[in-house]
């Protein structure tokens, strides 16, 4: 079992500003949950408070319904994987994997069997006699993962475990960690600043900013129905386009021909349109400034009167720099409308 409850948890360093402020969240047993947000938003602090590596200033932490707010790290029965791998340099891979089992006084033969099972799961069989300095970055990270999973803790806590790997290896390890979670079915709490990791790996995402939770939801909910402008702009590449518009009589006029229906009072609004929801049609309002051809799709950057916009179009659409277009919305019902004043969503 590995259910973790955070109840009104805050963290202050030196009684000064809040690194984490009043966050409450229930992480279900077996769930893969990802904390994502910009650097300094309080993700690691939250994870370290769950691990017991950082004290909790206010609030309570429960693991499987037992209060653990002040319990020592070893009594929480959690395993942590760090960004810098934190392997013991003088020990072989085998000894690195054996260490947590020794600490928990597991019988030597049983430990040996476990080490071989985990090594085989992670493709480390042929590396057991090597020292960390003889391993590539990806192999080191696999050993770090192996060390976390040799025991069966209540949950795995991972702090940016892939950020020291190159881009290709990150994609491979993303897949491996997801597979591992499916195999082991153990709760994973994962911290990253990388929205792609968040979108591709998590059952649910917790978006944080300035020590606060902005939104908790599945990747689809976070992407399609961001609760505020921050979440809308943080998730999605290229970034969502934001247009200043007026809401009046239940609709926002997009182009004279197109309208977005919003059931809210008349006010100034920010209309968010994802790049894939924009279509280019002949016109004069926007000029193509740059084209990124990714092979599978193209990102078209256009300049308007006072605004830059990006549209995502098919790989074979024939669009050239310098051409002029109007922008049409493909699916008005997918547009996100925010109050210009509060920046909170008013249409979902």
Distance (Å, whole) CA 312 – CA 292: 9
Q: Please, which of residues 281-310 interact with ligand ADP by CB under 6 A? A: none
Nearest distance from residue 190's CB to ligand ADP, in Å? 12
CB-count burial class (<10 Å; 0-12, 13-18, 19+) for 342 = exposed
Is-contact 213 23, C-beta < 8 A? yes
Nearest distance from residue 50's CB to ligand ADP, in Å? 12
Is-contact 213 21, C-beta < 8 A? no
Q: Please, which of residues 96-135 interact with ligand ADP by CB under 6 A? A: none
Q: Which of 178, 186, 188 is nearest to 157 (CA)?
A: 188
End-to-end Cα spacing for the chain: 35
Is-contact 38 189, C-beta < 8 A? no
Nearest distance from residue 40's CB to ligand ADP, in Å? 4
Is-contact 25 36, C-beta < 8 A? no
- 16/306 with CB nearer ligand ADP: 16
**Residue 207 engages ligand ADP in binding (rule: CB under 6 A):** no
**Residue 236 engages ligand ADP in binding (rule: CB under 6 A):** no
Near ligand ADP by CB under 6 A: residue from 9, 21, 45, 240: 45
Near ligand ADP by CB under 6 A: residue from 5, 19, 173, 269: 19
Question: In this structure, how many other beta carbons lie within 10 angstroms of the beta carbon of residue 30?
Answer: 16
**Residue 192 engages ligand ADP in binding (rule: CB under 6 A):** no
- Binding segment toward ligand ADP, per CB under 6 A, in 43-51, 101-109, 266-274, 332-340: 43-51
Nearest distance from residue 43's CB to ligand ADP, in Å? 4
- Binding segment toward ligand ADP, per CB under 6 A, in 34-42, 231-239, 259-267, 337-345: 34-42
Near ligand ADP by CB under 6 A: residue from 24, 26, 28, 40: 40
Is-contact 33 202, C-beta < 8 A? yes
- By CB under 6 A, the count of residues binding ligand ADP is 10
**Residue 39 engages ligand ADP in binding (rule: CB under 6 A):** yes
- Binding segment toward ligand ADP, per CB under 6 A, in 40-48, 116-124, 125-133, 134-142: 40-48
Distance (Å, whole) CA 186 – CA 79: 11
**Residue 21 engages ligand ADP in binding (rule: CB under 6 A):** no
**Residue 41 engages ligand ADP in binding (rule: CB under 6 A):** yes
- 19/177 with CB nearer ligand ADP: 19
Nearest distance from residue 194's CB to ligand ADP, in Å? 12
Q: Which of 254, 250, 253, 325 is nearest to 287 (CA)?
A: 325
- 40/123 with CB nearer ligand ADP: 40
Q: What angle do CA 297, 332, 341 make, to 5 degrees?
A: 105
Question: In this structure, how many other beta carbons lie within 10 angstroms of the beta carbon of residue 15?
Answer: 6
Is-contact 147 116, C-beta < 8 A? no
> Which residues here bind ligand ADP, judged by CB under 6 A?
13, 19, 37, 39-45
């Amino acid at each position: 079992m590995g259910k973790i409850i955070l109840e009104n948890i805050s963290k202050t360093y030196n009684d000064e500003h809040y690194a984490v402020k009043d966050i409450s969240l229930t992480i279900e047993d077996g769930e893969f949950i990802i904390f994502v947000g910009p650097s300094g938003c309080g993700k690691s602090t939250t994870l370290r408070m769950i691990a017991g590596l950082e004290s909790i200033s206010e609030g309570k932490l429960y693991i499987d319904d037992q209060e653990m707010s002040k319990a020592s790290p070893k009594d929480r029965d959690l395993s942590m994987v760090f960004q810098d791998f934190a392997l013991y340099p003088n020990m072989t891979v085998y000894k690195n994997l054996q260490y947590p089992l020794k600490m928990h006084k597991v019988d030597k033969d049983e430990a040996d069997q476990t080490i071989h099972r985990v090594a085989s799961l992670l493709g480390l069989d042929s590396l057991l006699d090597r020292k960390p300095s003889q391993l590539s970055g990806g192999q080191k990270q696999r050993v770090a993962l192996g060390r976390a999973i040799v025991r069966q803790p209540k949950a795995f806590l991972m702090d940016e475990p892939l950020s020291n790997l190159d881009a290709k290896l990150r994609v491979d390890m993303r897949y491996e960690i997801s597979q591992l979670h499916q195999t082991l079915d153990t709760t994973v709490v994962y911290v990253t600043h990388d929205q792609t990791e968040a979108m591709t790996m998590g059952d649910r995402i917790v978006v944080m900013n300035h020590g606060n939770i902005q939104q908790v939801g599945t990747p689809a909910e976070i992407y399609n129905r961001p609760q505020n402008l921050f979440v809308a702009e943080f998730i999605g590449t290229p970034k969502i386009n934001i247009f200043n518009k007026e809401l009046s009589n239940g609709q926002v006029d997009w182009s004279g021909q197109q309208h977005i229906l919003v059931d809210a009072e008349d006010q100034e609004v920010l209309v968010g349109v994802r790049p894939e929801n924009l279509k280019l049609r002949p016109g004069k309002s926007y000029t193509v400034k740059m084209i990124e051809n990714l092979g599978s799709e193209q990102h078209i950057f256009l300049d308007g009167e006072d605004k830059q916009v990006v549209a995502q179009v098919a790989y074979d659409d024939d669009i050239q720099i310098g051409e002029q277009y109007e922008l049409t919305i493909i699916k008005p019902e997918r547009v996100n409308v925010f109050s210009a004043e509060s920046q909170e969503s008013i249409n979902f």
